[in-house]
Amino acid sequence: MAKLRSVTINSLQDFTRFVDALPKKEIHWYRGCGKASYKLIPTLYRHPGKRAIRNLLDLEKQLLLWFKERSVAFQTRELDDDWDRLFFMQHFRVPTRLLDWTESPLIALYFALTSRSSATKKAAAVWVLKPKPWNAKAAGKMSYGVDIPSAGDVALSSYDPTDLDRDQLRKTPVAMFGTHSSPRMAAQRGTFVIFGKDTKPMEKTYSEDNFPVDALVKLEIPAKSCAPLLRSLRTVGITDSVVFPDLEGLAMEAKRNFGFKV
């Protein structure tokens, strides 16, 4: 059983020092969580009443159809296919098999620090993923010579939401590139992990299935360090309107700058 490495981060210097020490030839993705205890599992698999994978996959089909029938009037562009629709749903927080990651460590740190409740006394976390070694273990060589597949690639056919076959669906979640369908997704440099039959969290999969060392690492930020770290992050230009490049992001930034609760 592989032991998950956990590193304590108390300052922006600690964080940048850790990131700078990562192997330069490796690709790294990041995910910020407002609670260090928050498990790496997608929203679809968090349903309060459904646990069996067959029920969750049926639910996904129902959600896709429901969203397809009702979202047309609100769309600013036509959606190409069910992959595109899945990313669009994820963007608007409809439950899916997708788990959001980012190529930017500072964006992940922003989400870790801003998504936690101001009243909580609990730690936040940033997860670090090596998508290539993860995929090599999760899905063999990811056939067709693709290390990190994109939506529509043949290598992802067994995860495809359009004609999802329960029997063909792979077990382990894999890292993938998605469509940057909005300015927010582009600004946030979004990437994804899509889940398969296994409904357990990625950190449990990492430990139980003996994934490569440090394919997944947890950076814990103690509660007392979160507020000072967020102030430091703002001083280097990672503000609300940078992460959310629209009027909503600008409004969030105004509230934070003028002392209001966000």
Q: Compute the distance between CA of residue 31 and CA of residue 92 in angstroms, rounded to an integer.
A: 18
Q: Compute the distance between CA of residue 215 and CA of residue 128 in angstroms, rounded to an integer.
A: 8
Q: Compute the distance between CA of residue 50 and CA of residue 165 in angstroms, rounded to an integer.
A: 19
Structural domain boundaries of the chain? 5-41+99-257
Question: Three-state DSSP class for 120?
Answer: coil
Q: Specify the residue for token string 């296919």.
A: 81
pLDDT score recorded for residue 132? 94
pLDDT score recorded for residue 169? 87
State both tokens at 214.
């440090």
The one-letter amino acid at 10: N
Q: What stretches of the chain show up as alpha helix (H) in DSSP?
A: 12-21, 53-70, 82-91, 105-114, 131-138, 183-187, 202-208, 223-235, 240-243, 247-257
The candidate with the shortest Cα–Cα distance to 178, out of 97, 68, 57, 64, is 97
The candidate with the shortest Cα–Cα distance to 4, out of 220, 207, 222, is 207
* DSSP line for 174-202: EEEB----SHHHHHTTEEEEE--S--S-H
Return the exposure string of 34-69: e unless at least 16 CB atoms fall within 10 Å of the residue's CB, then b. bebebebbbbbbeeeebeebeebbebbeebbeebee
pLDDT truncated to tens, each residue of the chain (262 aa)? 778 999 999 999 999 999 999 999 999 999 999 999 999 999 999 999 999 999 999 999 999 999 988 888 777 777 778 888 899 889 889 999 999 999 999 999 999 999 987 667 899 999 999 999 999 999 765 555 678 999 888 888 889 887 666 778 889 999 999 877 677 777 788 999 999 999 999 999 999 999 999 999 999 999 999 999 999 999 999 999 999 999 999 999 999 999 898 8
Contacts of 213 (CB under 8 A, 6+ apart): 2
pLDDT score recorded for residue 188? 84
pLDDT score recorded for residue 144? 53
Q: Compute the distance between CA of residue 205 and CA of residue 207 in angstroms, rounded to an integer.
A: 6
